[in-house]
Amino acid sequence: MPAELTDALLRNLATEPGLFHRGSEGEALSGGITEMALRALESSLSPGMRTLETGCGGTTIVFAATGAVHTVVTPAKSEADRVRDFCDKMGISLESVEFRIGSSDTVLVGWDEPLDAVLIDGAHRFPFPMIDWHYVAGPLKVGGDVWVDDIAIPAVYRLFEFLRGESEWQLVAVHDDKLAQFKKIANPAEPYPLDWELQRYNDPSKWVFSYMPLSRRWRIWRNRAMIGTRIRQLRQELNRRRGGRRSS
Residue spans per domain, the chain: 7-184, 195-247
Residue 98 scores a pLDDT above 90: yes
**Verdict on whether the full-model pTM lies above 0.95:** no
Answer whether the bond into residue 191 is a cis peptide, omega within 30°. no
- Spell out the residues 6+ positions from residue 8 whose beta carbon is closer than 8 angstroms to its own: none
Q: Does 212 have pLDDT greater than 90?
A: no
**pLDDT tops 70 at residue 129:** yes
Strand order in the sheet with 69-74: 97-101, 69-74, 50-54, 115-120, 140-149, 179-184, 169-175
CA pair distance 155, 127, nearest whole angstrom: 7
Contact 80, 106 (CB under 8 A): no
Residue 14, C-beta contacts closer than 8 angstroms, at least 6 positions apart = 31, 33, 34, 35, 37, 38, 58
3 has pLDDT over 60: no
- Position 1 scores a pLDDT of 37
Residue 37 CA to residue 3 CA, distance in Å, equals 19
pLDDT at 17 over 80: no
Query: Does 114 sit behind a cis peptide bond, omega within 30 degrees of 0 on the bond before it?
Result: no
* Mean of the per-residue pLDDT values of the chain: 85
Q: Ramachandran region of residue 242, left (φ > 0), alpha (ψ -120 to 50) or beta?
A: alpha
Is residue 225 very low, low, confident or very high in pLDDT (cuts 50, 70, 90)? Answer: low
- Residue partners of 94: CB distance under 8 A and separation at least 6: 64, 83, 84, 87
Q: What is the helix (H) or strand (E) element at residue 129, kind and residue range?
A: helix 128-137
pLDDT at residue 68 tops 50: yes
Residues whose CB falls within 8 Å of the CB of residue 45, separated by 6 or more in sequence, listed in order: 51, 62, 63, 66, 67, 68, 117
* CATH code, residues 7-184: 3.40.50.150
pLDDT higher at 240 or 171: 171
- Does the pLDDT value for residue 81 go beyond 80? yes
Say whether pLDDT at 247 is over 60: no
Judge whether 140 and 146 are in contact, CB under 8 Å. Answer: yes
What number of other Cβ atoms are within 10 A of residue 161's Cβ? 12
Mean pLDDT over 15-36 rounds to 67
> Which amino acid, one-letter code, is at 187?
N
Sign of CA dihedral 55, 57, 62, 63: positive
Instruction: Name the band, by pLDDT with cuts 50, 70 and 90, for residue 30.
Output: low
pLDDT of residue 245: 60
How would you class 71 by CB atoms within 10 Å of its CB: exposed for 0-12, middle for 13-18, buried for 19 or more?
Answer: buried
